[in-house]
Structure formats: structure tokens, C-alpha cells
Chains A and B, each alone.
Chain A
């Protein structure tokens, strides 16, 4: 009889008439790392909110440490030792590391006087428990995401947690930081901590988890040991159907070698990168990979005219050109699907239609007046073309799921009929189904003669999609990996 620290039985929750959770059972054994997987909107966060007491379930029971509760409240949940580290990290960016680490204790003390020395001792003690080494006087907003996360975890541990929930902790981390986090998790596990790890990255789940629960459309569709679950089964449980993505890239049929490169960059420098040279042919899919801060995103932004280049040459179809602004880039047939969809790619409260058509206003303008009907017919064509799942393209784009939002960004830029399409992190936060959809689109676009550049730190993505890849490391191009050597192992070696 396994020893379950957490045993949720028949959890139901609905919002309005929508069932977010239907009879979900979630069992986590004491001292294991349990993975909770599922696509966006499958109910992962809803069940976490029930466990943390933030949003109690409608029916069903939660058994924790052998005691059955009808529902939990946030206070009760914290008292039981349940701590959640949310994606958006509940740290205070304007306070120092020390203040962040000590804040819980300080707040719970009755004294109103701010005692610097005592705070420092608490903070140091917290750091020791995790073998952390951070400057206590730095303001947290100046730290990278990974460090913020460690601070949040440290604080949770100091609050005597014995059940730690990590909500998509690796989204914004570099590979190195992920390794460090996993090391930390393994260390905690040895000390008897139970961890519920929410993720949708398959390789990470295999690496860290002992067992897994997969959710789909508000139901738990699979529970079992991690190592007995095959990759194909995983995809099937996640999406509900088999997804075939042709692994044969067939580059010979696509890449046009008889013409000058669609984009050629020589000795290009800009803020965050130096002396980068590469070229990409029409029909080719080129990868640019490298860790966070390697200059990958900066290179993309400079190619698109967001930031100014500081020397070097850019040629389009063999002719030298200069790009001083985004409009220059658009004129040159270059498009960029930016890294952060939510802040850079989309106008969230604005309609899907407007988001798709706003880069092409001049096509819909007659004697100065914008024709809404022309915009709408153009937009509905794109919605159909690129399979955006929506009933009404006049709805705000924020009503869409991550994957469909990304398709809107893609449609927006395809509508400018680019010759060179740059995508920075094309499938970040995109569920598996939409991800393969996007891959297939990119391959089709390349086949139609477009040059595609995929900048990504998702190595599996680069391997699966790209014909060859250049590797960036601390602002310089450290190597180029040709197609036949493009494997996850080689890439891992190259980016470190």
C-alpha cells in the first residue's frame, strides 16, 4: 500500500456552465517528484488552486497526510505545509534579497520596528538551507528569473513546507539554470520533500519525475510511473489523438541553391552581439540557438530594425541593404515573430482581425479611409488559412489559447508577404497540437520559397525543424552545425 501524502478524490469544479475539472483523482506519494502535465486550459491550474485553498472545489475531497478535508483554505493549506511557487513568482521586485527572504518572518512577528540585523540573520539562515549564494543587498528586480525563483523556493522552505508545488518553473530558465533547479529538487527530495512539478516539456519530465498524471479537458486521463510511459503515448494522452510529424525534412526539394541567399549577414554587430556572419537560402530553415543572454534575441531584433546595428553588412537576395527601422525591415521583406507574444507580438484587448491586419493598413485604405470590410475579409482568409480556432475573429485576441495567439502573430506577419521570416521562440507556451501545426506551416512556407529563421533555445525544436543551425554564445557566433550533425547532443555541447 503506497503512502500517499496527497490524495484528491473526485474533484469537480465548474465556472459558469463550463466544467474545468471533472472527477479528477490526483494521488502523490510521499517523497516523490510527481509531474502534472497537460496542455493549456486542461485544468492544471484549477486543481492547484483547489489544493492551495485559493479556489476551493465544488465537490470531492482532498486527503492530506491521512486527514480528509472537504475543502482547503489558503491559511489551512500553508499550515499543512503546502507551498506553491507560481509562474509569475510572488517576490517583491522592489525589495532586496534580504528583505524578500525575511519578509514572512518579519510580517508574522508582532514587533513593528524594522530590525536590520535580525533580518540579515534570518536571510542568511534561509540561504544556508539551500546552499545559495546571493548578494543580500541587491534589489530582486535586478536578478535573473532563475534567482528570483530560488528566492521564492527558499522562502517557501523556510515557511516549513513539506509539499512543494512548482508551476511551470522552467519556462524562463536557461538549460544551466534548469540543471541547477533540478539538482535542488533532487536534494529536497532526499530530505523528504514531496514535489508536484507542473510542466509541459517532455524531456524535463523524464529527467526529474518519478510518476506522472496527465490531464486533458478537465479530466485526469493517465496516472502512472514516468519511465513506463513512451513518448508516443505521452503525446496521445496530452492531445487525445496521434500526431504525425514527418521527420524527413527533405531539404533537397526545398532549398534553392541556384539563387543568391535571401538574407546574408556579414560581420554584423549590434547591442548584445558581435561579428555575426551567416546566410540563408530561399526555402531553407535556419536555426539560431543559444541560451538566454547569448545574443540570439538581440540579433533577431537588430535584423528587424528594433535596435540599431553597430557595423556589418546585410544583403537581401544578393543586394546590400540597410535596416534602420522596423519599416525598413518590412520594406525589405523581412518579418519577425517576436520572442514575447504577450508584450511584443500582440495587442491583447484588440480584436483578432485588427491584430492580423494592422501591419497592412495601406492595403485596406482608400482615399485615406480604412475599410473595415476589406480588413475583415482579409482577416477571415488568414484565420482559415492558418487554422486559428475561433468562432468570431472580432473577439479580442486574449480570448485565444497560447497556440492560437501565436498563429495570429504568424498570420499578421505572413500577410506582409515576407521573403525572410524570423521567428524568435516560435512555440514558447504553445501546446503540443498547435506546435506541430506551426511546424508544418513553417515547412510549407519554406517549400514555397520563403527563407525561415528559427531562433530558439528549445533544442528539440531546432533539431526537428531546422536544416542547419548556428550557435550563439555570449554574444558571438560560436559555431555552425550542418544538417547531418544536427542532433540534440551536438547542440547541447555547442551551447554550453
Chain B
């Protein structure tokens, strides 16, 4: 279990990117407003990327996070509409708690399928992806559900007047997860299960419990992401944020998670989230780069990085 290397590498990349963006775009990029936008936008997929990282550390993957988020967002929106149409705080809180519980249950289902039924994680979460997506379509009749107006304020709140609240949530989540994954026995077991689940079983590690917990945390994070996006966009739709699926994988891998399991730490992943949003924001400031290129760029980045890693590992052997 290598520590910190990925974190430091990502920090360096981030610094280089910021300097580069500052020099080439000047004040168009280096503005408080731009950084606030960056901070607001990265939270949703940032949370999901960290959840997916936990799954990846155990040797799995979680493709369903975006659809857990949408399901939770839609459920919360519907509950708020019926019990808190005028923005009653208690109703909003109940809706949020229900959404978080739904996230945990969805994650639990993923964990159950992967650890008990032993469906390959890719297929299990692709299946639940479809399932959660379908449920959200049914709940929303295929249309988008708007949020009650009182809930919209939540995402646009500025802490100390400058820092967007979603970004604060992201940072807090990243710190808590860094401690859990990097410094507790649970975090260590997560890695060990990912390295060799058989040896883990022979060491008294309860694979089912560890893996299920990882997917449940991922589900919980997705639920938080769903609530934030409900507030930020003011509406939720079954297929909102489909492109995030690919992005979360890219972030996890860039951040140092090994798709084969066993390695990866949250600090690296968290900085990778910021790096990706900075790249994306930078591309936004360049008018001649069409948004349609973005998907291809992310694909290239993932493949390029995997190839780089492959050669590095080969050289070390």
C-alpha cells in the first residue's frame, strides 16, 4: 500500500495546470467567480468518484452511482413537494434523510450482489444502474421533477461569503473518507480484500461485510450528490449526469486507484476531482473548442493514463 505518491503527483499536476491556465487565460480564468463555479460543479461527481474509488479499492467498480443519485434526488423532490410545499424545514429534513437511506439501501443491494451472490461488480452495478434508472423514470413519469423553491438556496449558499457550500461538503467528505480509508482498520481491510480476498478470508476478515460497507458508503455519497444536484439544478431527471459515469472512473484511476483492486487513497482521488474540473473549466474559456470534444478527451485521458501506468509497472519489474 503505497501512500501519498498519487496525492503529491496530482497536487503537482494541479499546480502546473493552474499556472498554465493563469498565464494563457489571465483574468478570464483567475477570477473568484470562476473558482466558485469550479467549486460548485465538482462536488456532485466528486462525491461519486470517491464512492467509486472505495469499490475499486476492493477490486470492484460502481457504475450505478449516478443513477442512485438521480433516484435519491427524485425521491427527495417528490417528498418535499407533498409534505413541504412551502419549504417547511422539517419536511425538507425528512426528505433528505429518506434520500440518504435510499442511497444506503441501493449501495447495500450492490454490495449484496457483489459479495454474497458474487456477480462480477461490473455486471452487478450495470444491472442496478438500469434498475435505479428505470425506477426513477417510473417515479418521474419520464419527465423532470422540479425542486421546491426553498431547497434551491442550499446549493447557492456561500460559506464565509465566498466558498460555495457544496464545495465545503466535498472537502469535509474528502477529509472524513481520507481518515477512514487511510487510517482505520476498516480502510486497511478494504485494501486487503482488494489485494487477495481469499487470504483475507483466511485472516478472519469478513469479506461480505467489508465489501458491502464499501458499496453502501458509495451509495450514501451518491445520495448526497443527488440532493446537491437537486438543489443546484433545481430539478432532477432520470438521465441527468450520464456523462459523470465515465468521469468518476477516470477520476478514480487518475487519483491512484488500481482497477485490479488493492491500491488507492482518497487524497489523491480528491485532488484528481479538482484537476478534472479545472481542465473542464479551462476548456470552457476557450471558444474554439467545442463541448462535443470533451467526451473524446476524457476517453483519451483514461486510456493514456492506463498505458502510462502499465509501462511504469512493467519497468519496475
The chain A residues found within 8 Å of chain B, CB to CB, are 304, 306, 325-327, 329-330, 336, 338, 343-351, 354, 358-359, 361-362, 365, 368-370, 412
| Cross-interface CB contact of A344 among B183, B191, B202, cutoff 8 Å | B202
B201 touches A348 (CB 8 A): no
A326 to B205, CA, bound (A): 8
What's the nearest-Cβ distance from chain A to residue B3, in Å? 10
Identify the closest chain B residue to A327 (Cβ).
B204
Identify the closest chain B residue to A357 (Cβ).
B188
| Residues from chain B with Cβ under 8 Å of A351 in the complex | 1
| Residues from chain B with Cβ under 8 Å of A344 in the complex | 198-199, 202
| Residues from chain A with Cβ under 8 Å of B199 in the complex | 343-347
| Cross-interface CB contact of A369 among B1, B183, B262, cutoff 8 Å | B183
Additional A-B contact list (9), CB under 8 Å, known A326-B203, A344-B199, A369-B183: A306-B201, A306-B202, A327-B206, A344-B198, A350-B195, A350-B262, A358-B203, A361-B188, A368-B184
A365 touches B185 (CB 8 A): yes
Question: What are 18 contact pairs spanning A and B, CB under 8 A?
Answer: A306-B202, A326-B202, A326-B203, A326-B204, A330-B204, A343-B199, A344-B199, A347-B195, A347-B200, A348-B195, A348-B196, A350-B1, A350-B192, A351-B1, A354-B192, A362-B185, A365-B184, A365-B185
A345 touches B202 (CB 8 A): yes
| Residues from chain A with Cβ under 8 Å of B200 in the complex | 347
B185 touches A349 (CB 8 A): no
Q: Is B162 in contact with chain A by the CB < 8 A criterion? A: no
B204 touches A343 (CB 8 A): no
| Residues from chain B with Cβ under 8 Å of A354 in the complex | 1, 188, 192
| Residues from chain B with Cβ under 8 Å of A365 in the complex | 184-185
A359 touches B196 (CB 8 A): no
A370 to B184, CA, bound (A): 5
The chain B residues found within 8 Å of chain A, CB to CB, are 1, 179, 183-185, 187-189, 191-192, 195-196, 198-204, 206, 262
A344 to B201, CA, bound (A): 8
Tally the A-B contacts, defined by beta carbons under 8 Å. Answer: 64
| Cross-interface CB contact of A359 among B187, B191, B204, cutoff 8 Å | B204
A347 to B197, CA, bound (A): 9
A346 to B196, CA, bound (A): 8
What's the nearest-Cβ distance from chain B to residue A60, in Å? 26
What's the nearest-Cβ distance from chain B to residue A287, in Å? 22
A338 touches B202 (CB 8 A): yes
| Residues from chain A with Cβ under 8 Å of B188 in the complex | 354, 358, 361, 370
Given the interface pairs A365-B184, A365-B185, A370-B185, the reply to whether A359 lies near B195 with Cβ below 8 Å is no
Identify the closest chain A residue to B191 (Cβ).
A350
Most buried by B among A304, A326, A329, A348: A326
What's the nearest-Cβ distance from chain B to residue A397, in Å? 11
| Residues from chain A with Cβ under 8 Å of B183 in the complex | 369-370
What's the nearest-Cβ distance from chain B to residue A289, in Å? 22
| Residues from chain B with Cβ under 8 Å of A330 in the complex | 204
A292 to B49, CA, bound (A): 47
| Residues from chain B with Cβ under 8 Å of A327 in the complex | 204, 206
B196 touches A361 (CB 8 A): no
| Residues from chain B with Cβ under 8 Å of A412 in the complex | 203
Identify the closest chain B residue to A416 (Cβ).
B204
| Residues from chain A with Cβ under 8 Å of B206 in the complex | 325, 327
What's the nearest-Cβ distance from chain A to residue B57, in Å? 13
B184 touches A358 (CB 8 A): no
A325 to B204, CA, bound (A): 8
B198 touches A343 (CB 8 A): yes
A335 to B57, CA, bound (A): 28
| Residues from chain A with Cβ under 8 Å of B179 in the complex | 369
A-B pairs, 3 with minimum CB distance: A361-B185, A326-B204, A344-B202
| Residues from chain A with Cβ under 8 Å of B1 in the complex | 350-351, 354
A304 to B179, CA, bound (A): 32
Given the interface pairs A306-B202, A326-B204, A327-B206, the reply to whether A347 lies near B184 with Cβ below 8 Å is no
A362 to B186, CA, bound (A): 11
A372 to B183, CA, bound (A): 9
| Cross-interface CB contact of B192 among A329, A347, A362, A369, cutoff 8 Å | A347
A428 to B195, CA, bound (A): 23
What's the nearest-Cβ distance from chain A to residue B180, in Å? 9
A344 to B179, CA, bound (A): 29
| Residues from chain A with Cβ under 8 Å of B201 in the complex | 306, 326
| Residues from chain A with Cβ under 8 Å of B184 in the complex | 365, 368-370
A336 touches B202 (CB 8 A): yes
A343 touches B185 (CB 8 A): no
| Residues from chain B with Cβ under 8 Å of A338 in the complex | 202
What's the nearest-Cβ distance from chain A to residue B263, in Å? 8
